[in-house]
Structure 1
Amino acid sequence: MYVSDVTVPDSLPQALIFIAMLVPGFSFVTVRTWFVGWRTPDHGAGSRLLEALYVSAIFIVVYVGIFVIGVSIAGIWTGDGSLDAARRWVETSWATTPGVVTAVLSMVLLVGLPGLLGALLNWRTKVTTVDSDGVAKTETKPVNRNQPTPRAWDHSAYGADYPRFVRVKTNTGVYVGGWFDASGYISTYPFDRDIFIAHQWHMDPKGKFVRPMKDSLGVWVPITDDCIVEWIAFEPANT
């Protein structure tokens, strides 16, 4: 089976051009994800790369179009608005542009404008709500409908940054729990859900905390879809 050769950048200028073609899309998608949160396609690296390429292509087409229009308008005053004039500008005037100007212009066009557009398109929207008295009112709220974390488990895990009790009902109906603090660990996306409870407690069949387990060095619990996890801020005697 014949496999066609894939052209890869073999010099620094080619590598920089290739990177510049990706940056606008990544800037736009990153800012969009910051406001809107993770969507289903965002979980795959391939789909995110394809979207970044698509967005970058749009920005590059727009930039080239603006450049050509600008050259045409300038040609009205100079009498030469052909594309050949644009070629001569790229070959001569652009080469003499100070490096600082080139760097600033590149940051604005490749990072700043795509990111700003991503923020403007996904920042806020007007939402009509009805309060308990039946009065409808329109509010401007962030457009974000999801947390930027992929699942509720991840969001609750990020919030477990202060000591608390945790109780896990496994898929076999057995309760496992204890005191969760900085000595414990919890796994989030993209890894499988699990939790390490450093201070394990004895649990009765109904899930009540009985007493700390002597000589325990902790317990690891895989969190499957059939498990129920409870974060508890009360004393064990009240649970």
Structure 2
Amino acid sequence: MPFPTTAFGIAAIVVLLVPGLTYGLVRRTLRGFRFDDLTIDARIAQALVVSVLLDAIYLAVGAAWIASVVHIEGNKVFVEEPGLLGLAVLAGAFAIPGLLSFVLNSPYRIRRRVPKAPRVVRPKKRKKQRAQSKYVIERTTYYEAVPTAWDKGATDPRGRAVRVTLPDGRMLGGFFGSGSYVSTYPEPRDLYLSHQYFVEADGTLGELIPGTAGVWLRISDDHIVEFFDPPDATGDDLTDNERTESNGE
């Protein structure tokens, strides 16, 4: 879809999409991805519904003020107070939808404090106690904004050894550290390991392969990817002289 270049087209995008997109972005951050968040079409449809609802409320509340600020004469649009109108657009497109989404989707809720059962203790000198509020803010649900388990596990920044079992049963081993790379949602899963290890018959990771410059793998559902604490000597721990000696062996 081509992006509009006229003032009317840009205004239409702001009015019909931006409030809903802001609402959805905050919701996904707080509650994680849902099934209907996986396609652009579904996100745009959600944004349109939310934006139309909010725009209707804005018109019902501030139609008179908008008419006094914005004047349309033929193909020309005149704005009397552009600064004030800009603040209104920021509030209507970002602040209000974001705050509304936070209130409706926040995992935190205000609940009445449950009194604890009294304990039988030895009498002591009473200390002055602070008055406790009748209400407390509690986290009632737990969501993760990361869309997939692969994104969560594979992007751990710690240096780790990796063993990948291929669909035919062969195993490859390597080190995921500085210089490595992993793709995340929505791109297909693939993995570049900066250093490759020999893999013994029992699956144990062996020595660093001499001259290794890394290995690239496309990860499908038939692959098994395992992460381990790195061996004592990883590619990042080798000095230039040690790497040169290893390559010469």
> What TM-score comes out, normalization by structure 1 length?
0.74
Residue 98 (structure 2) aligns with: 115
User: Which of 52, 56, 61 does residue 56 from structure 2 map onto?
Assistant: 61
Residue 191 (structure 1) aligns with: 187
Gap change, CA 1:14 and 1:232, over 3 Å in 2: closer
Whole-Å separation in 1 of the counterparts to 2:180 and 2:6: 48
> What TM-score comes out, normalization by structure 2 length?
0.71
Whole-Å separation in 2 of the counterparts to 1:53 and 1:16: 14
Whole-Å separation in 2 of the counterparts to 1:167 and 1:195: 12
Q: Is the 8 A contact 2:162 2:173 kept in 1?
A: yes
User: Which of 131, 139, 142 does residue 141 from structure 1 map onto?
Assistant: 139
Gap change, CA 1:113 and 1:157, over 3 Å in 2: same
**Count of aligned residue pairs for this structure pair:** 203
Q: Give 5+ residue unaligned stretches, structure 2.
A: 73-77, 111-135, 234-249
Residue 74 (structure 1) aligns with: none
- Greater share of helix: 1
Residue 147 (structure 2) aligns with: 150
Whole-Å separation in 1 of the counterparts to 2:173 and 2:66: 71
Q: Is the 8 A contact 1:180 1:199 kept in 2?
A: yes
Please list, as runs of the form range in 1=range in 2, the aligned pairs for 1:1-239 lying within 5 A after superposition: 11-67=6-62, 91=71, 97-125=80-108, 140-141=138-139, 143-145=141-143, 147-159=144-156, 161-235=157-231
- The residue type equivalent to 2:146 in the other structure is T
Whole-Å separation in 1 of the counterparts to 2:150 and 2:172: 18
Q: CA deviation at 1:216?
A: 2.4
Q: In structure 1, the residue corresponding to 2:17 is in which secondary structure? A: helix
Q: Is the 8 A contact 1:210 1:236 kept in 2?
A: no
Whole-Å separation in 2 of the counterparts to 1:119 and 1:187: 29
Structure 1 runs of 4+ with >4 Å offset: 85-92
Residue 76 (structure 1) aligns with: none
Q: Is the 8 A contact 2:16 2:48 kept in 1?
A: yes
Q: Give 5+ residue unaligned stretches, structure 1.
A: 1-7, 72-84, 128-137
Gap change, CA 1:177 and 1:63, over 3 Å in 2: same
Q: In structure 1, the residue corresponding to 2:103 is in which secondary structure? A: helix
1:32-57 CA-to-partner distances (Å, cap 9, x unmatched) read: 11101111111100110111011000
